[in-house]
């Protein structure tokens, strides 16, 4: 990484433009009026610069060769996001809202450390650490800038090839993240989150009723189910649940667990309105985007701006722990 930071690229203005973009966007906290004036001007100037450079770009053949991998990477990422969205609601629905409301969060040593630092550090440093300097949309826009900078020879062409690698890696990361939080369901760090985002039944799904609930709070039952390797509890009849007509997608009912309160809403509508998940995760989806963008920036562009982006990444990581 150190070698990438020290290396020199032509078109060194990219780093300045990126930092200027983040700085201008942060003006919304200090001077909303100035921000509303400067930001459109910045985007207009950048758009005009890109349009002017397009006719003089020399690497269109390599861009065309990378077009198909780029499109396939988009399809792969969208498929991964769909699987992730279904899984996010499923891990909430399978245990029911009562479990999410009543289960205590896991101990978070990172949060303990940051709370302790709040007591030791000067208040101005604490305020800086708490500040909303950079978010998910900033990292996404930094990568868009990086990809378009091939027009100015700031990074090596093709830009679509760079985008294809980024999107494919992002898709792999989302799938690994999904496997992680589906394999072991962790309680939320915000117990109120599930009820505010999801309209799912309060009681567990029949799968959880059979394989988890009877053994969850009884140490002897846990010992027996491990020893016998058999779900031995007899639960009788399961409570009937609402089952809308989703046609060929009806197999998703057991995973999404819609309620009569949501009526006949389509399965896609349920996924779209839920937003992000609530359960504690092995790693954050936002931080995946941030890390990939920072690594792509360091590898493709380098320079001192990479060191600044890494600092912003660390700041974003500690804010993710705080929140």
Of the listed ranges 2-6, 16-20, 42-46, 231-235, the least confidently predicted one is 2-6
Confidence (pLDDT) at 274: 67
Q: Which residue has the higher pLDDT, 164 or 192?
A: 164
DSSP 236: -
Q: What is the pLDDT of residues 243-253, one digit of tens each?
A: 888 888 889 98
Average confidence (pLDDT) over 62-72: 95
Task: Tell me if residue 286 falls in helix, strand or coil.
Answer: helix
Write the secondary structure of 64-119 as one string of H (helix), E (strand) and C (coil): HHHHHHHHHHHHHHHHHHHHHHHHHHHHHHCCHHHHHHHCCCCCCHHHHHHHHHHH
Cα 196 to Cα 199: distance, rounded to the nearest angstrom: 8
Angstrom distance (rounded) from CA 157 to CA 160? 8
pLDDT in tens, 261-298: 876 778 888 887 767 788 877 778 899 999 999 999 99
Q: Which residue has the higher pLDDT, 4 or 256?
A: 256
Domain ranges within the chain, ordered by starting residue:
2-57+78-201+251-322, 204-238
Residue pLDDT, tens place only, 110-149? 899 999 999 999 999 999 999 988 999 999 999 999 999 9
pTM here?
0.87
Residue owning tokens 């990438």: 4
Confidence label for 6 from pLDDT (cuts 50, 70 and 90): very low
- Cα(162)–Cα(292) distance, integer angstroms: 12
Nearest to 97 by CA among 189, 196, 235: 196
Determine phi and psi for 203, rounding to 5 degrees.
Answer: -90, 160
């Amino acid at each position: 990484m150190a070698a990438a930071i020290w290396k020199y690229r032509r078109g060194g203005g990219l780093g300045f433009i990126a930092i200027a973009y983040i700085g201008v966007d942060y003006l919304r906290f200090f001077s909303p009026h100035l921000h509303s004036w400067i930001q459109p001007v910045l985007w207009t100037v950048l758009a005009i610069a890109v349009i002017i450079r397009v006719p003089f770009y020399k690497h269109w053949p390599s861009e065309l060769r990378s077009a198909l991998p780029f499109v396939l990477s988009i399809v792969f990422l969208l498929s991964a996001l769909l699987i992730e969205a279904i899984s996010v609601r499923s891990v909430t629905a399978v245990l029911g809202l009562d479990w999410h409301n009543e289960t205590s969060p896991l101990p978070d040593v990172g949060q303990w450390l940051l709370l302790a630092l709040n007591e030791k550090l000067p208040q101005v440093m604490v305020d800086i650490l708490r500040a909303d300097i950079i978010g998910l949309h900033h990292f996404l826009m930094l990568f868009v800038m990086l990809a378009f900078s091939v027009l100015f020879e700031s990074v090596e062409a093709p830009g679509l090839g760079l985008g294809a690698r980024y999107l494919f890696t992002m898709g792999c990361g989302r799938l690994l993240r999904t496997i992680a939080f589906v394999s072991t369901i962790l309680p939320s760090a915000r117990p109120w989150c599930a009820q505010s985002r999801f309209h799912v039944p309060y009681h567990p799904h029949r799968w959880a009723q059979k394989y988890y609930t009877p053994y969850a709070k009884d140490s002897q039952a846990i010992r027996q189910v491990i020893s016998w390797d058999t779900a031995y509890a007899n639960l009788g009849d399961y409570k009937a649940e609402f089952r809308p007509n989703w046609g060929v997608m009806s197999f998703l009912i057991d995973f999404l667990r819609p309620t009569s309160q949501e009526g006949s809403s389509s399965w896609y509508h349920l996924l779209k309105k839920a937003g992000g998940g609530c359960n504690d995760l092995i790693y954050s989806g936002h931080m995946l985007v941030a890390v990939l963008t920072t690594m792509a920036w360091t590898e493709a562009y380098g320079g001192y701006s990479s060191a600044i982006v890494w600092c912003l990444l660390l700041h974003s990581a500690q804010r993710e722990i705080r929140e």
